[in-house]
Homo-oligomer: A and B are copies of this chain.
Amino acid sequence: MTKEFLYTEIANGIASQITSGVLNAGDKLPSVRILCKEHQISMNTAKRVFLELESMSLIESKPQSGYFVSQLLSITLPLPEVSRPSLIANTNEPDELISKVYENMGKNNLTLFSIAIPSGDLLPQAKLKKEIINATRELKSGGAEYEELQGNLKLRRMIALRSLSWGGNFNENDVVTTNGGMNALSFCLMALGKPGDTIAIESPCYPGILQLAAGFGLKVLELPTHPAHGIEIEALKKAIPKIDICLLIPNFNTPLGSCMSDENKKEVVKLLAENNIPLIEDDVYGDLYFGANRPKCCKSFDKEGNVLYCSSVSKTLAPGYRVGWIVPGKYKEKILKLKLLHSTSSISIVNEAVANFLKSGRYEKHLQQMRRTLQSNYQNYVQTIAESFPEGTKTSRPQGGLSLWIEFDKKVRTTELYDLAIKQNISIAPGRMFTLQDQFENCMRLCFGLPWSEDTQLKLRQIGNLAKRLS
Residues of A at under 8 Å CB distance from B?
102, 106, 117, 120, 123, 125-126, 128-129, 132-133, 136-137, 140-149, 179-180, 182-183, 186, 190, 194-195, 208, 211-212, 215, 217, 314, 317-322, 337-338, 340-350
CA A179 – CA B148 in complex, angstroms?
A: 16
Considering the complex, give the chain B residue whose CB is closest to the CB of A106.
B148
CA A396 – CA B318 in complex, angstroms?
A: 47
A207 to chain B, nearest CB (A): 9
A346 surroundings in chain B (CB, below 8 A): 322
**CB-based contact A136/B129 at 8 Å:** yes
CA A345 – CA B314 in complex, angstroms?
A: 11
**CB-based contact B120/A341 at 8 Å:** no
Chain copies in complex: 2
CA A21 – CA B211 in complex, angstroms?
A: 56
A133 surroundings in chain B (CB, below 8 A): 132-133, 136
A141 surroundings in chain B (CB, below 8 A): 120, 123, 125, 320
A102 surroundings in chain B (CB, below 8 A): 149, 340
**CB-based contact B212/A341 at 8 Å:** yes
**CB-based contact A125/B148 at 8 Å:** no
**CB-based contact A186/B341 at 8 Å:** yes
The verdict on A146 contacting B347 (CB below 8 Å), with A133-B133, A136-B129 known, is no
Query: Which DSSP category, helix, strand, loop or mixed, fits chain A's interface?
Result: helix
**CB-based contact B319/A212 at 8 Å:** no
**CB-based contact B136/A120 at 8 Å:** no
**CB-based contact B345/A144 at 8 Å:** no
A345 surroundings in chain B (CB, below 8 A): 180, 319-320, 322
**CB-based contact B212/A317 at 8 Å:** no
**CB-based contact A347/B344 at 8 Å:** no
Other contacts beyond A132-B133, A144-B317, A195-B195: 16, CB < 8 A: A106-B149, A120-B141, A123-B144, A132-B136, A133-B133, A179-B179, A179-B343, A179-B347, A182-B342, A190-B215, A194-B217, A211-B341, A215-B341, A322-B347, A347-B347, A350-B350
Considering the complex, give the chain B residue whose CB is closest to the CB of A209.
B341
**CB-based contact B182/A344 at 8 Å:** yes
A367 to chain B, nearest CB (A): 15
**CB-based contact A344/B180 at 8 Å:** yes
Question: Please, could you name 30 A-B residue pairs with CB atoms under 8 Å apart, sorted by A?
Answer: A106-B148, A120-B140, A120-B141, A123-B141, A125-B141, A125-B142, A125-B144, A126-B142, A132-B133, A132-B136, A132-B142, A144-B321, A145-B319, A146-B320, A179-B322, A180-B343, A180-B344, A180-B345, A182-B343, A183-B342, A194-B195, A208-B341, A314-B344, A319-B344, A320-B349, A321-B347, A321-B349, A322-B345, A322-B347, A349-B350
CA A125 – CA B341 in complex, angstroms?
A: 26
A211 surroundings in chain B (CB, below 8 A): 337, 341
A341 surroundings in chain B (CB, below 8 A): 182, 186, 208, 211-212, 215
Considering the complex, give the chain B residue whose CB is closest to the CB of A120.
B141
